[in-house]
Amino acid sequence: MKLLEEKILKDAKILDGNIIKVDSFLNHRLETDFLDKLAMEIANYFSGKGINKILTIEASGIALAILTAVHMDNIPVVFAKKARSKNISAKVFSSKVESYTYGKFYNVTVSKEYLNSSDKLLIIDDFLATGFAMEGLIDISKQAKADIIGLSVAIEKGFQNGGDNLRKKGFDLLSLAVVDSIENNTIIFRHL
Amino acid sequence: MKLLEEKILKDAKILDGNIIKVDSFLNHRLETDFLDKLAMEIANYFSGKGINKILTIEASGIALAILTAVHMDNIPVVFAKKARSKNISAKVFSSKVESYTYGKFYNVTVSKEYLNSSDKLLIIDDFLATGFAMEGLIDISKQAKADIIGLSVAIEKGFQNGGDNLRKKGFDLLSLAVVDSIENNTIIFRHL
């Protein structure tokens, strides 16, 4: 998506360790009209596919998910919670996820009340790098016997392979921008 | 707001300790069209007051905040982060907040890049009980020398006094529903 690529080139900061900092518009300060355009793009791509629920993860997936839901006939959104506790309630689906940035493990949990086998899911997040968080959401969806119709993220870091692994497994993954590499502080996008 | 009161009576669960569980529509599963109606009510109430930014806190304030922002000419939203770390960067405004539910302290932080003295803020959260989280957001706003035009929450637990304390301090607080007491598992609302 050209709009997002231009925005990244204009506003993103590149930190040590190939971290792309986009907290000026995507995950700390939220640029409402811009996020709404991303949401519309996602909604258009997945329209007509029978999706009846969006699954995302706290905190920075929530804004993009709810705006997308508005453009998909106001379908509900469920956001998974991150729990550090070792004691996970029997009332939730949970999946253990490694945090690449922090090197720690956390549990992604969703109440069993809010995911079930009649769900046709679109899973949304702001970022996809290793794909560990997305794999956790997929694991939970499978535990609930829900159908996963598609996955979407704003920014995929192509060089960390999470997205390619998901595509190889057959998932319909829409990444609005794919960063293929960062060379000398310059971001190179992937185009198919 | 009658719509929210009816929804609470219909869908909320009352747990031990006077906890009102509304995660079926407000803070785990998000009922998109319903939240959008709450957002419209907030936007209407504060329209024409020169608000140029919404401040909220992760995770469950984000959905209501971004939907309200859409109805306020797409103004930006900044969501404060919750940090447990004792080492807080000099690049953020931070305020120490007690979690009433968990009895622990955490820091509310916002990057200094995203709040400043030209801001006219509406502060939004899903719940207001003791008001500790809201006080943290107010503290941060004052550190940034921003103007606080108003505060809004979906549900105020009137019997925990956080809302009344804020009103006494002169804040324009819009609570879409105020629960005054819970008696024999029945929720009693406050009406002015």
Average pLDDT over residues B22-43: 98
Are residues B33 and A62, on separate chains, in Cβ contact within 8 Å? no
pLDDT of the residue at A129: 94
Residue A17's contacts (CB-CB under 8 Å, 6 or more residues apart) are: none
pLDDT of the residue at B108: 96
Residue B102's contacts (CB-CB under 8 Å, 6 or more residues apart) are: none
Strands A105-111 and A77-83: antiparallel
- Cβ-nearest to A77 among B32, B70, B114: B32
Average pLDDT over residues B72-83: 97
Asked, for residue A85, whether it belongs to a domain, the answer is yes
Question: Is residue B86's pLDDT more than 80?
Answer: no
Residue to substitute from A32, A37, A53, A111, interface B, most B β-carbons within 10 A: A32
Q: How far apart are CA B83 and CA A165, in angstroms?
A: 32
A43 is in an annotated binding site: no
- Report ipTM (2 d.p.): 0.97
Q: Measured between CA atoms, how close is A54 to chain B, in angstroms? A: 10
- Cβ-nearest to B29 among A36, A62, A78: A78
Q: How far apart are CA A152 and CA A107, in angstroms?
A: 21
pLDDT of the residue at B99: 84
Reported as a pLDDT band with limits 50, 70 and 90, residue B113 is very high
A27 is in an annotated binding site: yes
Reported as a pLDDT band with limits 50, 70 and 90, residue A12 is very high
Are residues A23 and B62, on separate chains, in Cβ contact within 8 Å? no
pLDDT of the residue at B87: 78
pLDDT of the residue at A83: 87
- Cβ-nearest to B58 among A58, A69, A111: A58
Domain span at B107: 2-189
The CATH number for B11's domain is 3.40.50.2020
pLDDT of the residue at A37: 98
A185 is in an annotated binding site: no
pLDDT of the residue at B59: 96
pLDDT tens readout for residues B139-163: 999 999 999 999 999 999 999 999 9
Torsion angle of the four alpha carbons B134, B137, B83, B74, in this order, in degrees rounded to the nearest 10: 110
Torsion angle of the four alpha carbons A28, A31, A34, A39, in this order, in degrees rounded to the nearest 10: 50
pLDDT of the residue at B37: 98
Question: Is residue A18's pLDDT more than 90?
Answer: no
Comparing A101 with B70, the larger pLDDT belongs to B70
**Which residues of chain A are within 8 Å of residue B110 when distances are taken between CB atoms?**
28
pLDDT tens readout for residues A73-115: 999 999 999 987 777 889 999 999 998 777 789 999 999 999 9
Q: Measured between CA atoms, how close is B31 to chain A, in angstroms? A: 5
B87 is in an annotated binding site: no
Task: Indicate the range of A24-28, A34-38, A54-58, B85-89 predicted with least confidence.
Answer: B85-89
Are residues B30 and A114, on separate chains, in Cβ contact within 8 Å? no
Reported as a pLDDT band with limits 50, 70 and 90, residue A143 is very high
Each residue of B92-111: b (16+ CB within 10 Å) or e?
Answer: bbbbebeeeeeeeebbbbbb
pLDDT of the residue at B103: 76
Question: Is residue A9's pLDDT more than 80?
Answer: yes
Q: How far apart are CA A155 and CA A182, in angstroms?
A: 14
Average pLDDT over residues B38-47: 98
User: Residue with structure tokens 């109805």?
Assistant: B71
Reported as a pLDDT band with limits 50, 70 and 90, residue A51 is very high
Average pLDDT over residues B57-77: 98
Reported as a pLDDT band with limits 50, 70 and 90, residue A1 is confident
Q: Is B188 on the interface with A (CB under 8 A)?
A: no
One-letter amino acid at A172 equals D
E strands within A58-104?
Answer: 77-83, 92-98
Of the candidates A45, A54, A57, the one whose C-alpha atom is nearest the C-alpha of residue A75 is A54
Domains identified in chain B, total number? 1
CB burial of residue A125 (10 Å; 0-12, 13-18, 19+): buried
Question: Is residue A150's pLDDT more than 90?
Answer: yes
Q: How far apart are CA B21 and CA A32, in angstroms?
A: 29
Q: How far apart are CA B161 and CA B140, in angstroms?
A: 21
pLDDT of the residue at B134: 98
Are residues B66 and A35, on separate chains, in Cβ contact within 8 Å? yes
pLDDT of the residue at B24: 97
Asked, for residue A116, whether it belongs to a domain, the answer is yes
Are residues A66 and B32, on separate chains, in Cβ contact within 8 Å? yes
Average pLDDT over residues A184-189: 92
Task: Tell which B residues from 96 to 155 touch A, by Cβ distance under 8 Å.
Answer: 110-111, 113-114
Question: Is residue A185's pLDDT more than 90?
Answer: no
Write out the DSSP string of A143-160. HTT-EEEEEEEEEEEGGG
Are residues A32 and B75, on separate chains, in Cβ contact within 8 Å? yes
Which chain A residue has the Cα nearest residue B68? A32
Are residues B24 and A113, on separate chains, in Cβ contact within 8 Å? yes
Share of residues in chain A with pLDDT > 70 (%): 100
**Which residues of chain A are within 8 Å of residue B74 when distances are taken between CB atoms?**
32-33, 36
Asked, for residue A162, whether it belongs to a domain, the answer is no
